[in-house]
Each structure stands twice: as structure tokens, then as C-alpha cells.
Amino acid sequence: MVRGPGHTEDFWSGVGRELQGGPHADAGRRAGLERTLRDAVRAGRLAPGTRLPATRRLAAELGMSRGTAKAAYDQLVAEGYLTARQGSGTEVAPLPADAVPPPVDDARARAPRFDLRPGSPDVGTFPAASWLRAMRRAIATAPSLAYDYGDPRGRIELRTALSAYLGRARGVLAPPERIVVTSGYVQGLALLTRVLGGGTVAMEDPGTPFHREVVRRNGGSVVPLPVDGRGARVDGLDSPAAVVVTPAHQYPTGVTLHPERRRALTDWARTHDGLLVEDDYDGEFRYDRQPLGALQGMAPNHVAYLGTASKTLGPALRLGWMVLPPHLVDAVADAKLHSDHHTESVGQLALADMITSQAYDRHVRACRLRYRRRRDQLLDLLGPEREVRGIAAGLHALVDVPDEDAVLAGAEAEGLAVGRLGDHWHTPGADRPQGLVIGYGTPRERAYPEALKVLGKVLEEAAGGR
């Protein structure tokens, strides 16, 4: 074989292996050769100026016809990956800088060995058997029109099922005609921001930075809504276009909105004809009593209630819902129509089946028991001497620490990932309270005890270093 810049004799034997049993083995001989060479050029394994073997020799080495090898070369010449000149053979062409993928940041690509980050459930608990049964029933009974373009508000089967479920489980006044099915909370928040024409949106401080960015990217401006031990504070609240709150289990402090604050918020909404956006974050997972009813039940004409199946089933399903005040339904449905037309239908039908068959309730109850057990294990590890907040509900707890950086450096050294309270303030600063946001929903069941051991070690070492 002819050598050139970046060329190794092993490369061409590797091409042969790729075509025999590698990722391109099923692509066909010509397409497989094209993809293998294209990938090599993009990744730099074949550098610019590398001279490629003649088609007759390449075909003999790889056990293909010369015509197949020549067709692959011609295709890559046409795409600009190779150059061919009469009498000079075929060479790798120089690529523009933006055609070459950047080097992979190994630190970011590696998943943590022990994952106690907040925000996700244990996806290993996904009820695959129940979901499969629901899918089969849904597909067997779905009318043919279910596979056509649909109502931007969502399938009526799911909206009807949600109406009953949210009423009995969350105390939400949810007629089907006021429900809009979405791909999740983020889409719901974006649609509402656009419908409100941007404007000022008050969002909890501390809160989720990503959600603040969603509002900004959809034309809104964000002002902080302070949170204390009773939840969001409404004193001093001006007249924003909307107020976004997480009454059931505030993220990241874990506080539950106090009854007086609930009344104050709904009074503000009625007095100012304002809109409350209720993110029912972790609403199904309450451990000290029955889950608290949603704020929406107190002021259904002033609260847009947003919920999802991301924590109960899994984020991959991309199924969420909004229960809207009557005056917003048509505008939000129109915005949804021009956003993605409608959420995919088959998953909606399957979820509707799970809800009406009570399989969804059974799964939520099982998850509630599992996560409560995990929370108790976390509390046993931390002991009574540590200040732990947000333990009455949800899938995360907030642990006060004097020095976030020191603890997180120790955690990184052990391959442990946790959340940092400091990342959630609207305006971070050294004067802000510090803490670890520990998610006990994320790890798989078998991995959780070991993750707790590593967390205990990191906290002990941090305490010993003070």
C-alpha cells in the first residue's frame, strides 16, 4: 500500500475488518467503503494529502470488484472528501475547520461512577411490561384516524383520562377541553411565555437556571421571586405577566409552599388578574402524609397547571400536560399547532390506557415506597447532626455544607456527582447559602448503596479538613 501523511499499513486491514463485521458491515460493499473512508477523513485517521491505493489494488485487497471501489472513490470525490487528478492518483482533500469534529472532552463524556445528581428518576424502574400491554391494547383498539394529524391539544382519550386522574390524585379541576398535551414541562413553559407575549416572569430564587433560560429564549424577561422556609414570598411582588412556582416540593430547597403563602399567591392572582404557573414538581411523591392538592384547585381561572410523566415513568416518553384557565386554551393550542402540530399519538393512547386501567396508580405507589426507602437510607447516612431539608417529598434533599467547592472537589475525585445549591441562584455570590442538592432517585437500585457509601466518605473527609 502507498504511504502518505497520517497513513498506516494497519489502517487498510482495519477497513477490511470494518466491511466484514464492523458497524458498516450491513451497509453494502460500496456504501460500507464510502462510510468507512468518510469517517476516517472526518476523524483525521486519514490526514489531508494522504494518497490512497489504486482502485485495482484496493479491490483485490478487500475482495470486491474494481468497479465497486472506483464508485466509492468517485462518490467521495464528488462530496469533496477526496481529490483525483489524472496521473497523480487519489488523495485525501483538505477539509474546512468546521467539517472536522472537535476533540471529545473525556471529562464531560464520562458518566460519573456514582450518580446522585438531582432531577431524574431511576429509569430502571420503567414499567416495561405494563407499558407494552398498554401499547398493544391502544394499537388494537385505536381508530385509523389516530394515525393522522391530530388535535394540537392532544388525543381526547388521554385528556379524558387525565381529567379524572388529576381530579382524584392532585385535586385539579381539569375538564378535558382545558387540557393541552405537551412533550414536557419545558414545552409548556415555552408556549405560555410566547402566548403571554414575553413580558416579565417572576421565577423562584433559587430555582432551575435552565427554566429561566427557556423563558428568556421565548421572549420573556426574568425577575427573582425569593424563597424562604415557607416557600415563595409574594410580598413586594410587582405586576409580572406570570409567576412560576413549585408548591409541592420547591426545587432545589425542597420546601413545601406554606398554606398562608398559597392563599397569598392566589389572592394576588385574583386581585391583579395575574397568572400563576404551577410546576407540579415531584407532586406525586409525598412521604409524611397524602400528597398535597395542587394550587390550581384554589384558583382554576388564574393557574396554569403543568405536570409530566417524566418522574413517574421516565423522561424519554416526552409526555406532559397543561390544565389552563379558559381564556388561554385557544391561544396555547394555536401556539402548539405552530410549534410541532401535535404530540405523538401512540404514546398518548398508551398512557391513557395505563391511567384508566389503574396500572399508572399502581406504578406510582410502588415508586413512592421505593423512593421513601431510599430517602430513609440517606437520612440514616447523614445522621441527626447534619442539617437536611426537603425530605418530606420528592426525589432530592438539600444538605447544608460550609464549603461547596471543597466537598465537590472531594466528590469529583471519587467519581461522585451531586448538585450544587450555588448554581441555582439568580445572582450567585459568596454571600449566598451553600449546600449539596442530592438526588436519591437517579441511581439504579443496585448502585444506590455504594453511592451512599462514597457520599459518606466524601462528607467525612470534608468535615475532617475544616
Greater model confidence, 315 or 88: 315
Whether the per-residue pLDDT at 186 is higher than 90: the answer is yes
Whether the per-residue pLDDT at 1 is higher than 80: the answer is no
CA-CA distance, 293 to 462, in Å (whole number)? Answer: 40
Please give the backbone phi and psi of residue 389, each rounded to the nearest 5 degrees, phi first: -120, 160
Q: What is the pLDDT of residue 25?
A: 43
Strand positions, DSSP E, 188-334: 199-205, 220-228, 231-232, 242-245, 275-279, 303-308, 320-323
CA-CA distance, 304 to 180, in Å (whole number)? Answer: 11
- Grid-cell match 383520562, residue found: 161
Secondary structure string (H, E, C) spanning 281-321? CCCCCECCCCCCCCHHHHCCCCEEEEEECCCCCCHHHCCEE
Q: Quick one: how many helices (H) and strands (E) in the chain?
A: 15, 16
Range scoring the smallest mean pLDDT among 26-40, 197-211, 293-307: 26-40
Whether the per-residue pLDDT at 320 is higher than 50: the answer is yes
CATH superfamily ID and name for 114-123+362-464 = Aspartate Aminotransferase, domain 1 (3.90.1150.10)
Q: What is the pLDDT of residue 12?
A: 57
Whether the per-residue pLDDT at 424 is higher than 90: the answer is yes
Q: Are strands 89-92 and 388-389 parallel, antiparallel or unpaired?
A: unpaired
Hey, what amino acid is at 345? S
Secondary structure string (H, E, C) spanning 56-125? HHHHHHHCCCHHHHHHHHHHHHHHCCEEEECCCEEEECCCCHHHCCCCCCHHHHCCCCEEECCCCCCHHH
The pLDDT confidence band at residue 10, using thresholds 50, 70 and 90, is: low
The pLDDT confidence band at residue 373, using thresholds 50, 70 and 90, is: very high
For the domain bounded by 127-360, which CATH number is listed? 3.40.640.10
Helix (H, G, I), strand (E, B) or coil at 131: helix
For the chain, the residue count is: 466
Q: What is the pLDDT of residue 304?
A: 98
Helix (H, G, I), strand (E, B) or coil at 220: strand
Contact 323, 172 (CB under 8 A): yes
- Grid-cell match 496521473, residue found: 87
Contact 206, 425 (CB under 8 A): yes
Contact 258, 443 (CB under 8 A): no
Contact 222, 201 (CB under 8 A): yes
Q: What's the mean per-residue pLDDT of the chain?
A: 88
57 exposed, middle or buried (CB, 10 Å; 0-12, 13-18, 19+)?
A: middle
* Angle of helix 404-413 versus helix 448-464 axis, rounded to 10: 130
What is the mean pLDDT of the segment spanning 102-123? 75
Whether the per-residue pLDDT at 7 is higher than 60: the answer is no
Domain boundary assignment for the chain? 9-99, 114-123+362-464, 127-360
Q: What is the pLDDT of residue 115?
A: 93
Q: Provide, rounded to the nearest whole percent, the portion of the chain with pLDDT above 70.
A: 91
CA-CA distance, 302 to 163, in Å (whole number)? Answer: 18
CA-CA distance, 351 to 167, in Å (whole number)? Answer: 17
DSSP-derived secondary structure letter, 393: B
DSSP-derived secondary structure letter, 342: S
358 exposed, middle or buried (CB, 10 Å; 0-12, 13-18, 19+)?
A: exposed
pTM, two decimal places: 0.79
What is the mean pLDDT of the segment spanning 248-273? 93
- Grid-cell match 401512540, residue found: 346
Whether the per-residue pLDDT at 251 is higher than 50: the answer is yes
Helix (H, G, I), strand (E, B) or coil at 245: strand
Hey, what amino acid is at 258? H
CA-CA distance, 62 to 155, in Å (whole number)? Answer: 54
Whether the per-residue pLDDT at 280 is higher than 70: the answer is yes
Other Cβ atoms within 10 Å of 416 Cβ, number: 21
Give how far Cα 14 sits from Cα of 20, 45, 71, 295, 318, Å.
Answer: 10, 11, 20, 62, 40
Whether the per-residue pLDDT at 385 is higher than 90: the answer is no
Q: What is the pLDDT of residue 5?
A: 44
Class of 9-99 per CATH?
mainly alpha
What is the mean pLDDT of the segment spanning 407-436? 90
Q: Residues 159-184, buried b or exposed e (16+ Cβ, 10 A)? A: bbbbbebbeebbbbbbebebbbbbbb
What is the mean pLDDT of the segment spanning 381-406? 88
Range scoring the smallest mean pLDDT among 126-135, 356-365, 403-412: 403-412
DSSP-derived secondary structure letter, 396: E
Whether the per-residue pLDDT at 11 is higher than 70: the answer is no
Contact 176, 161 (CB under 8 A): no
Whether the per-residue pLDDT at 16 is higher than 60: the answer is no
**Cell triple for 368:** 413512592
